[in-house]
Amino acid sequence: MNINYMEIKFKALSVNESFARTCVASFCLQVNPTIEELNDVKTAVSEAVTNCVVHAYPYEKGEVIVNCALVDNCLTITIKDEGIGIENFEQARMPFFTSKPEGERSGVGFAVMESFMDRLELSKNGDKGLVVTMKKFFKGAERLKIIGG
C-alpha cells in the first residue's frame, strides 16, 4: 500500500483559490491522472475553498486548511475552516440553495463537488466551522500499476 499526504494552510482570500486548486492538482500528478480527473479535482477544490472565502468568515478572514491523503489510487481531500459553519447540511447541499442570493450566486457549489468527486461529506469542525471531505478514485493509478511504474 502506497501512502502519501500533504497539508496547506492559507488565509481565506479569493486570491488563494487558484493557489489551492493548483497545489492539490500538482500533488495528484504522482498517480498519473487523466486531464479529466485533474480538472474534476481542481473544480471541486475551488468550490469548497470559494465557500470558505465567501461564507465562512463574514467578519475577519480566518484560515483554510486543505489536507490531501493518497492511499494507492484513492485521494481524500479535507477542507476545513473555523468560520460560522452550516446549521442545516441537507439544505446547504440542495442545488440552488444559497445564503447570499443578492451576490449573483448560483448555489450549486456542493452539487458540483458531488458530481465531480466520488464521495462528499460535510461535518462540523468541533464547535465552529465546517469540514468538507471528498474522495476521488483515480483510474490512472490502476493503469500505472499495470505498466509497473
Interface with other proteins by CB under 8 A: which residues?
A: 14-15, 17-18, 21, 36, 39-40, 42-43, 46-47, 50, 53-54, 95-96, 103-106, 108-109, 111-112, 115-116
The smaller minimum CB distance to other proteins, of residues 5 and 96, is found at: 96
Contact predicate 32/149, CB 8 Å: yes
Say whether 104 sits in a helix, a strand or coil: coil
Active site residue: 105, 125, 142, 143, which one?
Answer: 105
47 is catalytic: yes
143 is catalytic: no
* Bridge partner list, 11: 63
Residue indicated by cell numbers 469540514: 131
Alpha-carbon 123 to chain mean position: 13
Please choose, from the candidates 91, 92, 78, 70, the residue with its C-alpha nearest in 3D space to the C-alpha of residue 131. Answer: 78
Residue indicated by cell numbers 462528499: 120
Min dist CB 35 to other proteins, Å, is 10
The smaller minimum CB distance to other proteins, of residues 103 and 149, is found at: 103
The smaller minimum CB distance to other proteins, of residues 43 and 133, is found at: 43
Cell of 72: 494507492
51 is catalytic: yes
Min dist CB 84 to other proteins, Å, is 17
Catalytic residues: 47, 51, 105
